[in-house]
Protein backbone atom coordinates (compact mmCIF):
# COMPACT_ATOMS: atom_id res chain seq x y z
CA UNK A 1 0.00 0.00 0.00
CA UNK A 2 1.27 3.46 -0.85
CA UNK A 3 -0.18 6.50 0.92
CA UNK A 4 0.57 9.69 -0.97
CA UNK A 5 0.68 11.46 2.35
CA UNK A 6 0.61 14.96 3.73
CA UNK A 7 -0.57 16.90 0.69
CA UNK A 8 -3.56 18.64 2.28
CA UNK A 9 -3.53 22.43 2.59
CA UNK A 10 -4.50 22.63 6.24
CA UNK A 11 -5.97 25.61 8.03
CA UNK A 12 -4.52 26.95 11.28
CA UNK A 13 -7.07 27.91 13.91
CA UNK A 14 -7.15 31.58 14.89
CA UNK A 15 -6.44 32.12 18.59
CA UNK A 16 -8.76 34.77 20.00
CA UNK A 17 -9.66 36.34 23.33
CA UNK A 18 -13.18 37.47 22.43
CA UNK A 19 -15.39 37.33 19.39
CA UNK A 20 -18.53 39.08 18.25
CA UNK A 21 -19.88 35.59 17.56
CA UNK A 22 -20.60 35.33 21.29
CA UNK A 23 -23.41 37.84 20.84
CA UNK A 24 -25.16 35.85 18.10
CA UNK A 25 -28.60 34.44 18.87
CA UNK A 26 -29.41 30.81 19.62
CA UNK A 27 -31.30 30.69 16.35
CA UNK A 28 -28.15 31.65 14.46
CA UNK A 29 -26.11 28.88 16.11
CA UNK A 30 -28.81 26.29 15.45
CA UNK A 31 -28.96 27.32 11.81
CA UNK A 32 -25.20 27.16 11.18
CA UNK A 33 -24.94 23.86 13.05
CA UNK A 34 -27.72 22.31 10.98
CA UNK A 35 -26.23 23.53 7.69
CA UNK A 36 -22.69 22.41 8.55
CA UNK A 37 -23.87 18.99 9.70
CA UNK A 38 -25.57 18.50 6.34
CA UNK A 39 -22.48 19.73 4.49
CA UNK A 40 -20.29 17.28 6.42
CA UNK A 41 -22.70 14.43 5.64
CA UNK A 42 -22.70 15.27 1.93
CA UNK A 43 -18.90 15.56 1.94
CA UNK A 44 -18.54 12.01 3.28
CA UNK A 45 -21.38 10.55 1.21
CA UNK A 46 -20.10 11.98 -2.06
CA UNK A 47 -16.34 11.52 -1.60
CA UNK A 48 -15.44 8.81 0.93
CA UNK A 49 -14.89 5.41 -0.76
CA UNK A 50 -16.57 3.53 2.09
CA UNK A 51 -19.86 5.31 1.36
CA UNK A 52 -20.08 3.30 -1.89
CA UNK A 53 -22.28 0.23 -1.55
CA UNK A 54 -20.02 -1.74 -3.89
CA UNK A 55 -17.23 -1.79 -1.29
CA UNK A 56 -19.52 -3.53 1.17
CA UNK A 57 -18.30 -1.59 4.20
CA UNK A 58 -21.51 -1.90 6.18
CA UNK A 59 -19.76 -0.75 9.37
CA UNK A 60 -18.92 2.62 7.84
CA UNK A 61 -22.31 3.09 6.21
CA UNK A 62 -24.10 2.29 9.46
CA UNK A 63 -21.80 4.59 11.42
CA UNK A 64 -22.39 7.40 8.92
CA UNK A 65 -26.15 6.99 9.09
CA UNK A 66 -26.19 6.93 12.90
CA UNK A 67 -23.74 9.82 13.27
CA UNK A 68 -25.73 11.95 10.84
CA UNK A 69 -28.98 11.25 12.68
CA UNK A 70 -27.46 12.10 16.07
CA UNK A 71 -25.75 15.25 14.78
CA UNK A 72 -28.93 16.42 13.05
CA UNK A 73 -30.94 15.99 16.25
CA UNK A 74 -28.34 17.68 18.46
CA UNK A 75 -27.80 20.55 16.02
CA UNK A 76 -31.38 21.65 16.70
CA UNK A 77 -30.45 22.12 20.37
CA UNK A 78 -27.30 24.21 19.84
CA UNK A 79 -27.24 27.61 21.52
CA UNK A 80 -23.63 28.82 21.22
CA UNK A 81 -20.27 28.19 19.57
CA UNK A 82 -19.30 25.59 22.15
CA UNK A 83 -22.40 23.58 21.34
CA UNK A 84 -21.68 23.93 17.64
CA UNK A 85 -18.13 22.58 18.17
CA UNK A 86 -19.46 19.65 20.18
CA UNK A 87 -21.94 18.55 17.51
CA UNK A 88 -19.39 18.61 14.67
CA UNK A 89 -16.67 16.98 16.78
CA UNK A 90 -18.97 14.15 17.85
CA UNK A 91 -20.04 13.58 14.24
CA UNK A 92 -16.42 13.28 13.06
CA UNK A 93 -15.29 11.13 15.97
CA UNK A 94 -18.16 8.68 15.44
CA UNK A 95 -16.65 7.65 12.11
CA UNK A 96 -13.93 5.69 13.92
CA UNK A 97 -10.90 7.03 12.03
CA UNK A 98 -8.99 10.10 13.26
CA UNK A 99 -8.43 11.15 9.64
CA UNK A 100 -12.10 12.21 9.68
CA UNK A 101 -12.02 15.30 11.85
CA UNK A 102 -13.69 18.61 12.61
CA UNK A 103 -11.42 21.58 13.27
CA UNK A 104 -12.72 24.93 14.53
CA UNK A 105 -11.61 28.12 12.80
CA UNK A 106 -10.77 29.78 16.11
CA UNK A 107 -9.90 28.63 19.62
CA UNK A 108 -9.72 30.25 23.04
CA UNK A 109 -6.54 32.11 23.87
CA UNK A 110 -7.09 31.38 27.57
CA UNK A 111 -8.71 28.01 28.26
CA UNK A 112 -9.38 27.01 31.87
CA UNK A 113 -7.51 24.39 33.90
CA UNK A 114 -7.29 23.43 37.61
CA UNK A 115 -3.53 23.99 37.82
CA UNK A 116 -2.47 20.41 37.09
CA UNK A 117 -2.48 17.88 34.24
CA UNK A 118 -3.34 14.18 34.34
CA UNK A 119 -2.08 11.56 31.92
CA UNK A 120 -2.45 7.83 31.25
CA UNK A 121 0.32 5.77 32.79
CA UNK A 122 -0.05 1.97 32.74
CA UNK A 123 -3.85 2.18 32.55
CA UNK A 124 -4.10 4.65 35.43
CA UNK A 125 -4.85 8.39 35.45
CA UNK A 126 -1.86 10.06 37.09
CA UNK A 127 -0.97 13.70 37.79
CA UNK A 128 2.21 14.36 35.80
CA UNK A 129 2.45 18.17 35.82
CA UNK A 130 1.28 21.01 38.05
CA UNK A 131 1.90 24.65 38.85
CA UNK A 132 4.67 24.98 41.40
CA UNK A 133 4.02 26.54 44.80
CA UNK A 134 1.01 26.67 47.06
CA UNK A 135 -0.78 23.69 48.52
CA UNK A 136 0.03 20.02 48.70
CA UNK A 137 1.63 18.56 45.58
CA UNK A 138 -0.39 16.06 43.55
CA UNK A 139 2.47 14.84 41.35
CA UNK A 140 2.22 11.05 40.91
CA UNK A 141 -1.16 10.93 42.62
CA UNK A 142 -3.72 8.70 40.88
CA UNK A 143 -7.02 10.30 39.88
CA UNK A 144 -9.85 8.06 41.14
CA UNK A 145 -13.01 10.02 40.40
CA UNK A 146 -14.57 13.45 39.95
CA UNK A 147 -18.02 14.39 41.27
CA UNK A 148 -18.78 10.73 41.88
CA UNK A 149 -17.82 9.59 38.35
CA UNK A 150 -14.76 7.38 37.92
CA UNK A 151 -11.86 8.75 35.92
CA UNK A 152 -12.30 5.99 33.34
CA UNK A 153 -15.99 6.74 32.90
CA UNK A 154 -15.31 10.47 32.65
CA UNK A 155 -12.64 9.90 30.00
CA UNK A 156 -14.88 7.59 28.01
CA UNK A 157 -17.84 9.98 28.17
CA UNK A 158 -15.96 13.13 27.21
CA UNK A 159 -12.78 12.24 25.34
CA UNK A 160 -14.26 9.09 23.85
CA UNK A 161 -17.23 11.02 22.46
CA UNK A 162 -15.60 14.16 21.12
CA UNK A 163 -11.88 13.46 20.62
CA UNK A 164 -10.82 9.85 20.03
CA UNK A 165 -11.86 6.24 19.52
CA UNK A 166 -11.88 4.97 23.10
CA UNK A 167 -11.34 1.39 21.93
CA UNK A 168 -7.75 2.25 20.92
CA UNK A 169 -5.39 2.51 23.94
CA UNK A 170 -2.93 4.73 22.09
CA UNK A 171 -5.68 7.25 21.43
CA UNK A 172 -6.65 7.18 25.11
CA UNK A 173 -3.03 7.99 25.94
CA UNK A 174 -2.93 10.89 23.48
CA UNK A 175 -6.23 12.40 24.64
CA UNK A 176 -5.82 11.90 28.40
CA UNK A 177 -4.03 15.21 29.24
CA UNK A 178 -7.05 17.11 27.90
CA UNK A 179 -9.39 15.53 30.46
CA UNK A 180 -9.24 18.54 32.81
CA UNK A 181 -8.97 21.36 30.27
CA UNK A 182 -11.99 23.53 29.48
CA UNK A 183 -11.86 25.04 25.99
CA UNK A 184 -15.44 26.28 26.09
CA UNK A 185 -16.81 23.07 24.66
CA UNK A 186 -20.58 23.27 24.94
CA UNK A 187 -21.17 19.68 26.08
CA UNK A 188 -18.40 19.72 28.68
CA UNK A 189 -19.22 20.25 32.36
CA UNK A 190 -16.27 21.17 34.56
CA UNK A 191 -15.78 18.78 37.52
CA UNK A 192 -15.79 20.51 40.89
CA UNK A 193 -14.37 17.94 43.31
CA UNK A 194 -11.98 15.07 42.58
CA UNK A 195 -10.64 12.17 44.62
CA UNK A 196 -6.97 11.16 44.37
CA UNK A 197 -4.99 8.24 45.76
CA UNK A 198 -1.41 8.89 46.73
CA UNK A 199 0.30 5.80 48.12
CA UNK A 200 -1.99 4.84 51.03
CA UNK A 201 -3.55 8.28 51.36
CA UNK A 202 -6.85 9.46 49.87
CA UNK A 203 -7.05 13.14 49.01
CA UNK A 204 -10.22 15.06 48.15
CA UNK A 205 -9.49 18.20 46.13
CA UNK A 206 -11.86 21.05 45.23
CA UNK A 207 -10.78 22.17 41.77
CA UNK A 208 -9.88 25.85 41.38
CA UNK A 209 -10.46 26.50 37.68
CA UNK A 210 -8.52 29.42 36.27
CA UNK A 211 -7.42 30.74 32.88
CA UNK A 212 -4.03 29.92 31.41
CA UNK A 213 -2.31 31.18 28.29
CA UNK A 214 -2.76 28.69 25.49
CA UNK A 215 0.86 29.01 24.37
CA UNK A 216 2.00 28.09 27.89
CA UNK A 217 -0.41 25.19 28.42
CA UNK A 218 -0.15 23.39 25.10
CA UNK A 219 3.53 22.35 25.29
CA UNK A 220 2.86 20.92 28.74
CA UNK A 221 -0.10 18.95 27.46
CA UNK A 222 1.99 17.56 24.61
CA UNK A 223 4.77 16.48 26.98
CA UNK A 224 2.22 14.85 29.28
CA UNK A 225 1.15 12.41 26.56
CA UNK A 226 4.31 10.43 27.22
CA UNK A 227 5.61 9.78 23.72
CA UNK A 228 8.94 10.55 22.10
CA UNK A 229 10.52 12.63 19.36
CA UNK A 230 12.83 10.66 17.13
CA UNK A 231 14.20 13.54 15.09
CA UNK A 232 15.92 12.79 11.77
CA UNK A 233 19.23 11.19 10.91
CA UNK A 234 21.41 8.09 10.83
CA UNK A 235 24.08 7.45 13.46
CA UNK A 236 25.97 4.63 15.09
CA UNK A 237 25.32 3.68 18.71
CA UNK A 238 26.81 1.03 20.96
CA UNK A 239 24.79 -1.84 19.48
CA UNK A 240 24.63 -0.89 15.81
CA UNK A 241 22.92 1.77 13.71
CA UNK A 242 20.15 4.12 14.83
CA UNK A 243 17.84 5.54 12.13
CA UNK A 244 15.69 8.44 13.34
CA UNK A 245 12.54 9.13 11.31
CA UNK A 246 9.99 11.34 13.08
CA UNK A 247 7.71 11.75 10.09
CA UNK A 248 7.30 10.54 6.53
CA UNK A 249 7.37 13.95 4.91
CA UNK A 250 10.10 15.63 2.82
CA UNK A 251 12.66 15.50 5.66
CA UNK A 252 12.63 11.71 5.29
CA UNK A 253 14.59 12.26 2.08
CA UNK A 254 17.63 13.41 4.08
CA UNK A 255 17.45 10.26 6.19
CA UNK A 256 17.36 8.04 3.12
CA UNK A 257 20.34 9.90 1.67
CA UNK A 258 22.29 9.47 4.91
CA UNK A 259 21.40 5.78 4.97
CA UNK A 260 22.69 5.34 1.42
CA UNK A 261 25.97 6.95 2.46
CA UNK A 262 26.58 4.09 4.89
CA UNK A 263 26.45 1.64 1.96
CA UNK A 264 26.66 -2.06 2.81
CA UNK A 265 28.35 -1.45 6.18
CA UNK A 266 24.91 -0.74 7.62
CA UNK A 267 23.84 -4.31 6.96
CA UNK A 268 26.75 -5.63 9.05
CA UNK A 269 25.58 -3.92 12.24
CA UNK A 270 24.46 -6.12 15.14
CA UNK A 271 21.09 -4.38 15.15
CA UNK A 272 19.49 -1.61 13.22
CA UNK A 273 16.86 0.49 14.99
CA UNK A 274 14.29 2.43 12.96
CA UNK A 275 13.11 5.02 15.48
CA UNK A 276 9.55 6.10 14.62
CA UNK A 277 8.73 7.82 17.92
CA UNK A 278 6.41 10.75 17.30
CA UNK A 279 5.77 9.73 13.69
CA UNK A 280 2.23 10.75 12.71
CA UNK A 281 2.49 9.76 9.04
CA UNK A 282 3.11 11.30 5.65
CA UNK A 283 3.89 9.14 2.62
CA UNK A 284 4.51 5.42 3.10
CA UNK A 285 6.63 5.50 -0.08
CA UNK A 286 9.54 6.64 2.09
CA UNK A 287 9.16 3.57 4.27
CA UNK A 288 9.09 1.31 1.23
CA UNK A 289 12.29 2.89 -0.09
CA UNK A 290 13.99 2.42 3.26
CA UNK A 291 13.00 -1.24 3.25
CA UNK A 292 14.58 -1.65 -0.20
CA UNK A 293 17.81 0.00 0.96
CA UNK A 294 18.10 -2.33 3.93
CA UNK A 295 16.71 -5.61 2.64
CA UNK A 296 17.10 -5.35 -1.11
CA UNK A 297 14.62 -4.35 -3.81
CA UNK A 298 13.92 -7.91 -4.97
CA UNK A 299 13.08 -9.16 -1.47
CA UNK A 300 10.77 -6.21 -0.79
CA UNK A 301 8.98 -6.50 -4.12
CA UNK A 302 8.59 -10.27 -3.71
CA UNK A 303 6.88 -9.77 -0.36
CA UNK A 304 5.09 -6.44 -0.67
CA UNK A 305 4.52 -6.16 -4.43
CA UNK A 306 5.69 -3.59 -6.95
CA UNK A 307 4.35 -0.03 -7.21
CA UNK A 308 2.54 -1.01 -10.39
CA UNK A 309 0.62 -4.02 -9.10
CA UNK A 310 -3.14 -4.26 -8.74
CA UNK A 311 -3.04 -3.77 -4.96
CA UNK A 312 -2.08 -0.10 -4.99
CA UNK A 313 -4.44 2.67 -3.86
CA UNK A 314 -7.87 3.01 -5.44
CA UNK A 315 -9.44 6.47 -5.52
CA UNK A 316 -13.12 7.28 -5.42
CA UNK A 317 -13.95 9.20 -8.59
CA UNK A 318 -15.86 12.31 -7.54
CA UNK A 319 -15.39 15.71 -9.14
CA UNK A 320 -13.81 17.07 -5.95
CA UNK A 321 -11.47 14.10 -5.50
CA UNK A 322 -10.27 14.27 -9.10
CA UNK A 323 -9.74 18.02 -8.76
CA UNK A 324 -7.66 17.31 -5.66
CA UNK A 325 -5.50 14.85 -7.59
CA UNK A 326 -4.83 17.51 -10.24
CA UNK A 327 -3.98 20.06 -7.55
CA UNK A 328 -1.56 17.58 -5.97
CA UNK A 329 0.16 17.08 -9.32
CA UNK A 330 0.44 20.80 -10.07
CA UNK A 331 1.45 21.87 -6.57
CA UNK A 332 3.47 19.01 -5.11
CA UNK A 333 4.21 16.48 -7.85
CA UNK A 334 7.62 17.67 -8.96
CA UNK A 335 8.78 18.60 -5.46
CA UNK A 336 8.17 15.07 -4.18
CA UNK A 337 10.30 13.44 -6.85
CA UNK A 338 9.76 11.51 -10.08
CA UNK A 339 8.16 8.46 -8.43
CA UNK A 340 5.39 10.53 -6.84
CA UNK A 341 4.88 12.52 -10.04
CA UNK A 342 4.58 9.27 -12.02
CA UNK A 343 2.09 7.87 -9.53
CA UNK A 344 -0.05 11.01 -9.65
CA UNK A 345 0.00 11.04 -13.45
CA UNK A 346 -1.18 7.42 -13.51
CA UNK A 347 -3.95 8.13 -11.00
CA UNK A 348 -5.20 11.10 -13.02
CA UNK A 349 -5.31 8.99 -16.21
CA UNK A 350 -7.24 6.28 -14.34
CA UNK A 351 -9.64 8.84 -12.86
CA UNK A 352 -10.33 10.48 -16.22
CA UNK A 353 -11.00 7.10 -17.80
CA UNK A 354 -13.31 6.10 -14.95
CA UNK A 355 -15.29 9.34 -15.30
CA UNK A 356 -15.74 8.80 -19.03
CA UNK A 357 -16.98 5.27 -18.38
CA UNK A 358 -19.20 6.28 -15.46
CA UNK A 359 -17.28 4.25 -12.87
CA UNK A 360 -17.07 5.32 -9.23
CA UNK A 361 -13.53 4.02 -8.64
CA UNK A 362 -10.24 4.39 -10.50
CA UNK A 363 -9.69 0.64 -10.67
CA UNK A 364 -10.96 -2.75 -9.54
CA UNK A 365 -11.98 -3.28 -5.93
CA UNK A 366 -10.09 -6.59 -5.95
CA UNK A 367 -6.42 -7.37 -6.29
CA UNK A 368 -4.22 -10.40 -6.42
CA UNK A 369 -2.28 -9.53 -3.29
CA UNK A 370 -2.58 -10.82 0.23
CA UNK A 371 -4.57 -9.69 3.24
CA UNK A 372 -1.81 -8.70 5.63
CA UNK A 373 -0.29 -12.12 6.24
CA UNK A 374 3.44 -12.63 6.66
CA UNK A 375 4.84 -14.23 3.52
CA UNK A 376 8.69 -13.95 3.40
CA UNK A 377 9.53 -14.85 -0.18
CA UNK A 378 13.07 -14.74 -1.52
CA UNK A 379 16.34 -13.88 0.18
CA UNK A 380 16.94 -10.62 2.03
CA UNK A 381 20.19 -8.64 1.90
CA UNK A 382 20.38 -8.91 5.71
CA UNK A 383 18.54 -10.81 8.41
CA UNK A 384 15.24 -8.91 8.83
CA UNK A 385 15.07 -9.96 12.49
CA UNK A 386 18.03 -7.66 13.17
CA UNK A 387 15.86 -4.67 12.24
CA UNK A 388 14.06 -3.26 15.27
CA UNK A 389 11.14 -0.90 14.56
CA UNK A 390 10.68 1.39 17.58
CA UNK A 391 7.16 2.82 17.90
CA UNK A 392 5.14 4.86 20.35
CA UNK A 393 1.47 5.78 20.69
CA UNK A 394 1.71 8.54 18.07
CA UNK A 395 2.39 6.17 15.16
CA UNK A 396 -0.52 6.85 12.82
CA UNK A 397 -1.55 6.91 9.16
CA UNK A 398 1.41 6.20 6.84
CA UNK A 399 3.52 5.30 9.90
CA UNK A 400 1.11 2.41 10.46
CA UNK A 401 1.54 1.35 6.84
CA UNK A 402 5.32 1.41 7.28
CA UNK A 403 5.14 -0.67 10.45
CA UNK A 404 2.84 -3.16 8.71
CA UNK A 405 5.31 -3.44 5.83
CA UNK A 406 8.35 -4.03 8.04
CA UNK A 407 6.50 -6.56 10.19
CA UNK A 408 5.61 -8.51 7.05
CA UNK A 409 9.22 -8.39 5.95
CA UNK A 410 10.36 -9.96 9.22
CA UNK A 411 11.46 -6.95 11.29
CA UNK A 412 10.73 -6.88 15.04
CA UNK A 413 8.53 -4.16 16.53
CA UNK A 414 9.59 -2.79 19.93
CA UNK A 415 8.48 0.08 22.19
CA UNK A 416 4.84 1.10 22.64
CA UNK A 417 1.58 0.02 21.03
CA UNK A 418 0.68 2.13 17.99
CA UNK A 419 -2.41 4.08 17.12
CA UNK A 420 -4.91 2.62 14.61
CA UNK A 421 -6.64 3.73 11.43
CA UNK A 422 -8.58 2.16 8.58
CA UNK A 423 -7.52 1.13 5.09
CA UNK A 424 -8.92 4.44 3.77
CA UNK A 425 -6.34 7.06 2.83
CA UNK A 426 -5.67 10.56 1.43
CA UNK A 427 -7.32 13.04 3.77
CA UNK A 428 -8.84 16.28 2.50
CA UNK A 429 -10.06 19.11 4.75
CA UNK A 430 -12.96 21.24 3.50
CA UNK A 431 -14.23 24.52 4.93
CA UNK A 432 -17.84 24.24 6.08
CA UNK A 433 -20.43 26.74 4.75
CA UNK A 434 -20.40 28.79 7.97
CA UNK A 435 -16.62 29.30 7.87
CA UNK A 436 -16.53 28.28 11.53
CA UNK A 437 -14.76 24.95 11.01
CA UNK A 438 -13.38 22.48 8.53
CA UNK A 439 -14.48 18.87 8.14
CA UNK A 440 -12.48 16.17 6.41
CA UNK A 441 -13.03 13.17 4.21
CA UNK A 442 -10.83 10.39 2.90
CA UNK A 443 -10.61 9.86 -0.84
CA UNK A 444 -8.92 6.50 -1.51
CA UNK A 445 -8.38 3.07 -0.05
CA UNK A 446 -5.90 0.19 -0.11
CA UNK A 447 -7.62 -2.99 -1.31
CA UNK A 448 -4.85 -5.28 -0.06
CA UNK A 449 -5.20 -4.08 3.52
CA UNK A 450 -7.55 -5.31 6.21
CA UNK A 451 -10.41 -3.00 7.11
CA UNK A 452 -8.63 -1.77 10.26
CA UNK A 453 -4.89 -1.02 10.28
CA UNK A 454 -3.45 -1.46 13.75
CA UNK A 455 -3.06 -1.04 16.58
CA UNK A 456 0.23 -2.90 16.29
CA UNK A 457 1.45 -4.38 19.56
CA UNK A 458 5.23 -4.58 19.96
CA UNK A 459 6.88 -7.96 20.38
CA UNK A 460 9.02 -6.37 23.10
CA UNK A 461 7.39 -3.60 25.14
CA UNK A 462 9.36 -0.74 26.70
CA UNK A 463 7.78 0.16 30.06
CA UNK A 464 9.93 3.18 30.87
CA UNK A 465 9.79 6.78 29.66
CA UNK A 466 9.95 6.37 25.90
CA UNK A 467 10.84 10.04 25.47
CA UNK A 468 14.14 9.36 27.31
CA UNK A 469 16.42 8.49 24.39
CA UNK A 470 19.32 7.49 26.65
CA UNK A 471 17.15 5.00 28.51
CA UNK A 472 15.71 3.57 25.30
CA UNK A 473 19.13 3.13 23.69
CA UNK A 474 20.51 1.49 26.82
CA UNK A 475 17.56 -0.93 26.84
CA UNK A 476 18.16 -1.83 23.19
CA UNK A 477 21.92 -2.23 23.65
CA UNK A 478 21.55 -4.45 26.72
CA UNK A 479 18.98 -6.68 25.08
CA UNK A 480 20.13 -6.89 21.47
CA UNK A 481 23.73 -5.76 21.41
CA UNK A 482 26.66 -8.04 20.46
CA UNK A 483 24.30 -10.39 18.59
CA UNK A 484 22.54 -11.43 21.81
Q: Taking residues 190-208, what's their average pLDDT? A: 95
Q: CATH number of the domain at 232-483, please?
A: 3.90.226.10
Cα separation, 398 vs 423, in Å, equals 10
Q: Is the confidence at residue 307, as pLDDT, over 90?
A: no
Give the model's pLDDT for residue 9: 45
pLDDT confidence of residue 305: 78
pLDDT for res 221: 97
Nearest to 227 by CA among 172, 175, 176, 277: 277
CA–CA dist 397, 440 (Å, integer)? 15
- pLDDT per residue as tens digits for the range 139-151: 999 999 999 999 9
**Of residues 365 and 202, which shows the higher confidence score?**
202
pLDDT tens, residue by residue, 217-252: 999 999 999 999 999 999 999 999 999 999 999 999
The reported pLDDT for the residue numbered 103 is 95
Q: How many CB atoms lie within 10 A of CB 280?
A: 18
- Out of 3.40.50.720, 2.30.42.10, 3.50.50.60, 3.40.50.920, select the CATH number for domain 112-212: 2.30.42.10
- Give φ, ψ of 105 to 5 degrees: -75, -25
pLDDT at 376: 65
Which pLDDT band holds residue 482 (cuts at 50, 70, 90)? low
Separation in Å, CA 244 to CA 78, 231, 415, 429: 46, 6, 14, 29
340 or 373, greater pLDDT? 340
The CA distance from 305 to 289, in Å, is: 13
Q: What is the pTM of this model?
A: 0.90
Contact indicator for 433, 39 with CB cutoff of 8 Å: yes
pLDDT of residue 336: 65
User: What average pLDDT does the structure give for the chain?
Assistant: 90
What is the per-residue pLDDT across 73-131, written as a single tens digit (0 to 9) for each? Answer: 999 999 999 999 999 999 999 999 999 999 999 888 899 999 999 999 988 999 999 99
pLDDT at 408 over 90: yes
Contacts with 69 (C-beta within 8 Å, 6 or more apart), sequence order = none
In the predicted structure, residue 260 carries a pLDDT above the cut 80: yes
- What is the pLDDT confidence band of residue 370, given thresholds at 50, 70 and 90? very low
**Could you give the maximum distance between any two Cα atoms of the chain, in Å?**
72
**Which is it for the CA torsion 284, 290, 294, 295, positive or negative?**
positive
Q: What pLDDT, in 10s, does the model give residues 321-340?
A: 999 999 998 887 666 667 77
Question: Mean of the pLDDT values across residues 354-382?
Answer: 77
Tell me the domain boundaries of the chain.
14-107, 112-212, 232-483
Residue (of 304, 324, 299) closest to 380 by Cα position? 299
Amino acid sequence: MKRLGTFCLCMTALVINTTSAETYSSEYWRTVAEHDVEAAYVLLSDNHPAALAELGDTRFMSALSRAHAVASRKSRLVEDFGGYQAVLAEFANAMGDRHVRSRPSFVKARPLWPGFIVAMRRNSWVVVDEDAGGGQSLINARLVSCDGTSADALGRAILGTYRVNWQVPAQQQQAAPWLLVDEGFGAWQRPQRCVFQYRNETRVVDLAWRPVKREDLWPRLERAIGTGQAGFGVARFEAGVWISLQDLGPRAETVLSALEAFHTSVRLADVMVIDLRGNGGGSSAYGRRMAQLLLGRNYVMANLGSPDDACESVWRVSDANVATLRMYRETFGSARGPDVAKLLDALIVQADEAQREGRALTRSTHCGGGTGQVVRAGRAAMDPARILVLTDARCFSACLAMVADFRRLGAVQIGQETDAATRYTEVRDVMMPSGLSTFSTLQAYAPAEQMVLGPFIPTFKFDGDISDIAAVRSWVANRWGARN
